[in-house]
Homo-oligomer: A and B are copies of this chain.
């Protein structure tokens, strides 16, 4: 956080060829992403796409009764605002900052313009979108068939992959909202993981002590999603 910022901390931006990157570089605006901030709400017009560097954003749907469930997370591997280049401009879902940090944002018209050049940027964005769809599909299946503890492990590992440290700043309540369960369910599952020595919990902070322990408890969904992200976005050349 205290280090200097660079668009290259976002994998998509880092994967752009120099010429493409320089065209948009001057328009990339570093913005702080405070915990809980909504980047967009249902059916609300988007004005920017956000390329997270240290922040993590949760894409989720809130039901009429107020219950919610995360459908996918976006960190430094991706971009928030898919709907801009897909052509819909809005979505019925919400995007909320789940881990505070920073992102570079780009005005929607510039993103669309760059997408329509049909160059590597377009290809990257489309492949990323497909990876995002995989995450959504897997989440749907995971929500049906796997236990809270398994889903908690999946969530922790996916989040851990997006931050540099072993510590996540988040309350059990917030995790419960993401997973669409009661807070007490998280208390119990996290308690099990803590007793097993895999994590350490402290009032809004989780430290992962033994990553392999989580990997032993997690359902297949984590591995499938991770593998798919690697597959779809692996063969890119990073600048710098």
Contacts and interface: CB of A to CB of B under 8 A. Distances in A.
Interface of A: 59-61, 63-65, 67-69, 71-72, 82-83, 85-88, 91-93, 116, 118, 123, 126-127, 129-134, 136-141, 143-145, 180-181, 219-220, 224, 227-228, 231-232
Contact of A88 (B138, B143, B181, B232): B232
Contacts of A136: 71, 133, 136-137, 140
A71 B118 contact: no
Given A64-B220, A82-B133, A130-B82, A141 B180 contact: yes
Contacts of A127: 86-88
A92 B130 contact: no
- 5 closest A-B pairs (Cβ-Cβ)? A144-B180, A140-B140, A86-B130, A71-B137, A136-B136
23 contacts: A61-B140, A63-B141, A65-B145, A67-B141, A67-B145, A69-B140, A69-B141, A71-B136, A82-B133, A86-B126, A87-B130, A91-B130, A91-B133, A91-B228, A92-B134, A92-B224, A92-B227, A93-B137, A129-B129, A133-B133, A136-B137, A140-B143, A143-B143
